[in-house]
Structure 1
Amino acid sequence: MASENEDTEILESGEPVESALKSGMEQLVDKIDVPDQLEPVIALFGNHPWVKGLIVLLIFIVLAKVVEWIVMPLVRRLTSHTSTHIDDLIVQYLRSPLFWTLALIGIVASSSMMGIDESVRSTLVSFVISVLILLWMLFAVRISKLLLSEASRRAKPNAVVRPQTLPLFTNIAAITIIVFAVYFIFQSWHVDMTAWLASAGIAGIAIGFAAKDTLANLFSGVFIMADSPYKIGDYVVLDDGGGIRGKVTHIGIRSTRLLTRDDVEVTIPNSIMGNSKVVNESGGPHVKYRIRVAVGVAYSSDIDQVRDVLMSVARESETVCDQPESRVRFRAFGASSLDFELLCWVDNPELRGRVLDALNSAVYKRFLMEGIEIPFAKQDLYIKEMPDNAV
């Protein structure tokens, strides 16, 4: 069994990380291979190596079952009294890895008792370590997803981890855990990763030059998810894209999809979305959207009456919000009219066209009833004199 001083010497001697990892794995195997505490029990069943190995395996399986059937239920009963459900899920996720860890350790320990050939045993140890790494990798991925989901659920509006950025951080955490797991699996089989890492770096540079547009979209997608200028369900207007206006239906790593009012889906690369001026009509303190009804009246009209009629139309409309309150503004003295504007709010930008149509119709009918004239541009042509040769 290796001592703690040997561990310190390995790290202080300036050896590469790969050598330290290999030595650490070998020391772990050596610790597993010496079940001194079990020798008195094993001696009761004879000295045949295969019998000893089977007994050791049986003991570890029984220990794993004790942990699964007795220890874990007790821990779960304790965590059930806490105010959060996270610890309950962690205990649930921990049950399978713990059982298989003890069972696989039993396989390695029993192989040392059976006198198996060293090369076969080394392969078995590498295989067992690889399986253990995969088991705990899956456990780490599930725990990271659980913790990030809980953090996004409790996040404040400006928090880094929130529902909009949750898929980004979940994927980053999963990829990081998988990369480390693959690295340690290669180390368990004593594969030198230096050449692989160098090849991956050269390949990454080549792929970066060949797919720069795709990478630009990918990076822009990451920044959009992190910055969250808009979210799914928002109505946005892309000023640099021909005035495209639509509802955001999907935010991906490569592109963003908008559903226009014509029920046409438009897919826009994230590099364009990231470099364009995007007007989020659903942004701000609330989702409500203000619409403007512009109308002109004759110069002989009573402006107070016009205000009252416009406010009455807004109050009688069922689609106009009570809060914020509607208002009327006298905007300008036009060429042939007094220009007014009715400002009112609707619950969603999607209702803009429908409500504007209803308000325009109501304003026109009320003006006819109230005798308020809506002027229109006209020209009078005066002929000063007829030409002498006119017929």
Structure 2
Amino acid sequence: MTESLKVWWFKLTSHAWLGPLAIIFTYLVIAKIVDLTFKKVLRRLVKRTSFSTDDELLQFFHWPVVLNVVLLGPLHAIYEINPGGRIEFIATNLIKSIIVLIWMITAFRLVRWITKRKSYFAERFGHLGADMLILLKNVAYVIIFLTGTLVLLSLWQINITPLLASAGIVGVAVALAARETLANFFGGISLFLDRTYKVGDYIILDSGERGEVVDVGIRSTRIRTRDDIIITIPNSIMANSKIINESAPEPRFRLRLPVGVAYGSDLEKVEKVLLDLVKDAPYVEKFPEPRIRYRNFGDSSIDLELLCWVDHPRHKGPATHALIKRIHERFAEEGITIPFPQRDVHLYPAEKADDQN
């Protein structure tokens, strides 16, 4: 049965006109099978998943794959006929060009679909993520267009060497003219990939400025200081600077408040009063628990630090303000002295001083 089928197929495909038609018909059947596989099998599989990304990707590749199989039929038939010369060159390259255009359009649609998820990238990476996504979309469009164009030109045997040489010269000229812009651009990419900071984080720069990141663009980063002054720094500088991110890895911020008490104070009582007053202080987190650490013996006081966590670096100032007021009030109520630097001066009468000399 198998041998007879092979013989029948060979005779059919050897026919001048029935052979190519049989090949085209066979590819149409295969295309229909692929179509049903996408609709009946793969679609059921992707519906079992909890996310919708695979459903959308299946729709993107469904018809390009089916059309690709359909177009392989005429291409195969032309090779079987083997007309030779210019007719075969034009016919085969025309079909190949249509296949290339189909996949170029599919690639464009895929990039457009990814960029529609701008809010997702903005939520995860801030404004830089959204801006970078738009930039990468344009870069991807250019790459797809240039790649498809080069493939089409090579199919039609058009010499692209002069075009590549011209493109190289233009690229060098653009790179020299926009080297600062390119430095900022690649600095923005490095910040994006490293996720050094994002919008809303509080950072401290090498120069000492501290503020909230309000915008991270492709060219520069802007921070707002506590004086409501906007500082704009090029990304090339930010990428090569030491940056302290007070909001990472957790948004809470550790507050260190130095306190001094007199040498005659009851240190156990001091510790108990401080831990009691910080419990319900504004902006102070209950976990990790506040603690007291005695640091050293000062000239006029025993020096200690009140260590606690505030919910966000922006509340460092208000939390410090509230704690200082509470400490001053409670120490006055509990009779705990906050000493200040002082010096004892002993005065001797002149005669007594002469006797001592």
Query: Normalised by the size of structure 1, how large is the TM-score?
Result: 0.63
Corresponding residue number in structure 1 for 2:46 = 80
- In the alignment, what sits opposite 2:179? 212
Distance 2:304 2:341 in 1: 17
AA of the residue aligned to 1:74: K
SS at match of 2:248: coil
In the other structure, the counterpart of 1:355 is 319
Range 243-252 or range 362-371, more displaced: 243-252
The answer (yes or no) to whether the contact 2:261–2:339 under 8 Å persists in 1 is yes
Sort the Cα spacing of 1:370 and 1:197 in 2 relative to 1 into closer, same or farther, 3 A.
same
Say whether 1:223 aligns with 2:190: yes
State the distance in 2 between where 1:260 and 1:131 align. Answer: 57
Cα separation, partners in 2 of 1:142 and 1:361, compared to 1, 3 Å = farther
Counterpart check, 1:257 vs 2:219: no
Structure 1 residue identity aligned to 2:220: S
Matches of 2:264 and 2:323 in 1, distance apart? 23
Match of 2:64 among 81, 93, 97: 97
Deviates more, 1:305-314 or 1:180-189: 180-189
Q: 1:340: Cα distance to partner? A: 2.1
SS at match of 1:363: helix
Whether the 8 Å CA contact 1:93–1:139 is kept in 2: the answer is yes
1:137 aligns with one of 75, 85, 104: 104
Q: Which residue of 1 aligns with 2:239?
A: 274
The equivalences for 1:161-176 within 5 A come to: 167=133, 176=143
Q: Which residue number in structure 1 is paired with residue 272 of structure 2?
A: 308
Task: Give the corresponding residue for 1:25.
Answer: none
Tell whether the 8 Å contact from 2:206 to 2:241 is kept in structure 1 after alignment: yes
Which residue is 1:200 aligned to?
Answer: 167
Shift of 1:238: 0.7
Q: Which residue of 2 aligns with 1:289?
A: 253
Look up the match of 2:200.
233
Q: Deviations over 1:114-156 (max 9, x none)?
A: xxxx79x94x976765554343134346668989999xx9xxx
Secondary structure of the residue that 1:317 maps to in structure 2?
coil
Q: Find the counterpart in structure 1 of residue 309 from structure 2.
A: 345
Residue segments in structure 1 that go unaligned for 5+ positions in a row? 1-33, 42-55, 112-117, 154-162, 386-391
CA distance in 1, matches of 2:22, 2:302: 106
The aligned amino acid for 1:258 is: I
RMSD between superposed Cα atoms in Å = 4.7
Aligned-residue identity in percent: 36
SS of the residue aligned with 1:323? coil
Partner of 1:247: 212
Of 286-295 and 185-194, deviating more is: 185-194
Contact 1:75/1:91 (8 A) holds in 2: no
Secondary structure at the counterpart of residue 239 of structure 1: coil
- Counterpart residue number, 1:48: none
Conserved in 1, the CA contact under 8 Å of 2:203 and 2:244? yes
Q: Which runs of 5+ in 2 are unaligned?
A: 1-15, 79-85, 121-128, 350-357
Q: Report the counterpart of residue 294 of structure 2 in structure 1.
A: 330
- 1:139, 1:90 → 2: CA distance? 11
In the alignment, the residues of structure 2 paired with residue 96 and residue 146 of structure 1 have an alpha-carbon distance, to the nearest angstrom, of 16
Change (3 A) 1:194 1:347: same
Compared CA separation, residues 187 and 221, structure 1 to 2 (3 A): same
Q: Deviations over 1:290-337 (max 9, x none)?
A: 011122223332222221111112222252222222111222333333
Q: CA deviation at 1:35?
A: 7.4
1:332–1:340: 8 Å Cα contact kept in structure 2?
A: yes
CA contact (8 A) 1:76 1:88 kept: no
Match of 1:389 in 2: none
Give 2:40's aligned amino acid: L
Q: 2-side partners of 1:139 and 1:35: how far apart?
A: 34
SS class of match (2:307) = strand
Please tell me whether the aligned partners of residues 254 and 307 of structure 2 are also in contact (alpha carbons under 8 angstroms): yes
